[in-house]
Structure 1
Amino acid sequence: MKMTIKEIAKLAGVSQATVSKIINNYEDVGAKTKKRVLEIMEEHGYRPSYSAQSLAKKVTKVIGVIYAGKINANFNHPFFVDVVSSFKKTMGAEGYDLLFFSNEKFHKADENYLARCQHYNVDGCIIIGGDQVEPSVYDLDKSDIPCIGVDIQLEGKTSGYIMTDNEKVSSLAVEHFYLMGQREIGFIGGKENSLISEQRLEGFEKIMKTYGLSVNQNWIKFGDFFEDSGYQVMSEMLKEHEIPKALFAASDLMAMGAIKAIKDSGNSVQDFSIIGCDDITASRHIDPPLTTVKQDKEKIGKMAAYILNDLINKNLQHTAVKIEPELIVRESCGAAKKV
């Protein structure tokens, strides 16, 4: 039988108001009293869902976490793992807990993020962008529940979004190739219809034209941001008559897959110049260490937390933020030569 606040108070010899204050982390309760009440709650397995005061104020100090889009390996991608870790740390310091929502019923009629967020009475949500985003994500965006998007554009009055300047990502890569004497440059994007792929491809084509470089459509390929797709795309390129000697892959994992394909084909990696994107930890430990365009994962997570906190506390209305990327030069541009 589930214990009540009244029963906990009786066992501890305190008022129900005192138990409620302890649940809500009020500071005007003595340490000994707080310790005794918490021990009794633990002993009897009492787990409050929401305190009366929290419900009255509609404040639960709970943030929903949604990985939007068709089920893929987003939970395992190093970039998103690091962003969410930074977000969690910052929101935790503000007193919030995170509640992860499942999208196992992707695109089913009963998939309704807004209703579920209302059921759990979350104070706000962080939405991580993916491919083929469920329509219910945008219903949530239009609601009065504050949301912050990462790699997804949200337009609601109580929403905001943050992402790396993706056109600048491609610009830094192509500029480095150009300064190192490379003129024949290929591009491997993620999913062709994804927002991030579109922005990085747009930036790639724009900067190529800026430097008077021709864009070979046969050298523009798409994967899924993961290693296997980079391997497959590079393997296909290596079978063609004309092969780009410089290649920008829109993720480090795809760049690593491309490097492995070059090695497995019997070619020398030193004959190619490869640049990835993200600066995940593994990028500095592969052979050769990967030149990459760094996304500031810690800053993105921290900024997302601060923006969402301000949206929740009505200190901010809709806002969009772009984070500057940074080129990290390592040895994977072996074929590049200064001119």
Structure 2
Amino acid sequence: MKLTIKEIAKLSGVSQSTVSKIINNYDDVGEKTKAKVNAVMEEHGYRPTYSAQTLARKSTKMIGVIYAGDINANFDHPFFSEVVSSFKKTIGAQGYDLLFFSNEKFHKADEDYLARCQHYHVDGCIIIGGEKVEPSVYALDQSEIPCVGIDIELQGPRSAYIMTDNHQVSGLAVEHFYLLGWHDVAFIGGQQESLVSSQREEGFKDHMATYGMKTKTEWLIYGDFFEQSGYDGMKQLLLLEERPHAIFAASDLMALGAMKAIKDHGADIGEFGIIGCDDITAAKYVDPPLTTVRQDKEKIGKMAAFILQDLMHDRIKGTAVKIDPDLIVRKSCGSKRESSRYKENAK
């Protein structure tokens, strides 16, 4: 059975990126290390399928696309599909094709994105961040293959990442609640270990404190960014003795689920203030239309394409880019002071 780069690295006592550099004839690896790794490869009959000289002579014009980790945000997720569509349009105009890697095996130890990227000779990769990201993603990040991450922080020598300023996302939502008189605000987020969700939760708590609005532990609900978790989370909130009447959901899909839960519960949705995040197409068509914090999906995809091209041509080194969000005001979050509940309480 042919060894993987990961196995060669383990047997040699070096990192996977070091093995990759030796295979590709980089100069910054010591002779003793090269000899040790080459001896392991020779012993086990490992033969690289290409050389660095081959890649230097000819670009494959192929970009790998990886949906990393235990990711529900797959091809059907409206946010990521629009980002990748923008990326495809921009990078495609430069003559590149996309190669989508499957991650159905990510629970298994033999998942190795670096080896697969080398096998297909990709010029670079775009990595879409999910939950419980497999270690092989970070091995790829630490290699010499240029990578751009979306909603995943990459730190490799030829890597960069892009994400919306999630702290500001929550700031816009909380500020809007405050200005409209909503102080009893709950947060419905993704998984607690989610980078994006944790950043939005942190921003939510910080801005709630800024405006003197208390954050209640029982009003912090966690899901998976999809409709059902928003629905389930809202049902949980509705059953509380002291329930909130304002909801900030960390995704539009969860916000839509929460709105359905309110209606199914028989409550008056007009007595609630609801804000989502993403500004997916469906947000403007739901009843009432959803107020949301817009992520600039087209800009994120375009920026990813430009940065990846610069990384591939060594015009820039690793960088992190945060994109500013915008508040899109619709009817799902009106003024609390105009609601019948507020007027009743004011008497």
Q: Same fold (TM over 0.5)?
A: yes
Any idea what the Cα deviations from partners look like across 1:240-291, whole Å, max 9, x if unmatched?
1111111100000000000000000000100000000000000000000000
SS of the residue aligned with 2:327?
A: strand
Maintained 8 Å contact 1:234/1:261: yes
Compute the displacement of 1:76 (Å). Answer: 1.1
Maintained 8 Å contact 1:165/1:325: yes
Compute the displacement of 1:212 (Å). Answer: 1.4
Any idea what the Cα deviations from partners look like across 1:136-172, whole Å, max 9, x if unmatched?
0000000000000000000011000000000000000
Compute the displacement of 1:107 (Å). Answer: 2.7
TM-score normalised to structure 1 length: 0.83
SS of the residue aligned with 2:155?
A: coil
Aligned twin of 1:181: 181
Aligned twin of 1:98: 98
SS of the residue aligned with 1:182?
A: coil
Compute the displacement of 1:71 (Å). Answer: 4.4
Give the partner amino acid of 2:131. Answer: D
Distance in structure 1 (CA, Å) of the matches to 2:278 and 2:71: 21
Aligned identity (percent) is 67
Q: Are positions 1:216 and 2:223 aligned together? A: no
Aligned twin of 2:258: 258
Aligned twin of 1:199: 199
Q: Are positions 1:127 and 2:106 aligned together? A: no
- Structure 2: gaps spanning 5 or more residues: 1-49, 343-347
Q: Are positions 1:162 and 2:155 aligned together? A: no
Distance in structure 2 (CA, Å) of the matches to 1:244 and 1:180: 15
SS of the residue aligned with 1:74?
A: coil
Maintained 8 Å contact 2:73/2:130: no
Give the partner amino acid of 1:265. Answer: H
- Structure 1: gaps spanning 5 or more residues: 1-49
Distance in structure 1 (CA, Å) of the matches to 2:71 and 2:248: 26
Larger Rg: 1
Distance in structure 2 (CA, Å) of the matches to 1:187 and 1:229: 12
Compute the displacement of 1:238 (Å). Answer: 0.5
Maintained 8 Å contact 1:69/1:131: yes
The equivalences for 1:298-337 within 5 A come to 298-334=298-334, 336-337=336-337
The equivalences for 1:274-293 within 5 A come to 274-293=274-293
Any idea what the Cα deviations from partners look like across 1:186-209, whole Å, max 9, x if unmatched?
100011110001100000000011
How large is the RMSD of aligned CA atoms in angstroms? Answer: 1.6
Aligned length: 288
Are the structure 2 counterparts of residues 207 and 60 from structure 1 closer, same or farther at C-alpha, using a change threshold of 3 Å?
same
Distance in structure 1 (CA, Å) of the matches to 2:216 and 2:72: 30
The equivalences for 1:21-60 within 5 A come to 55=55, 57-60=57-60
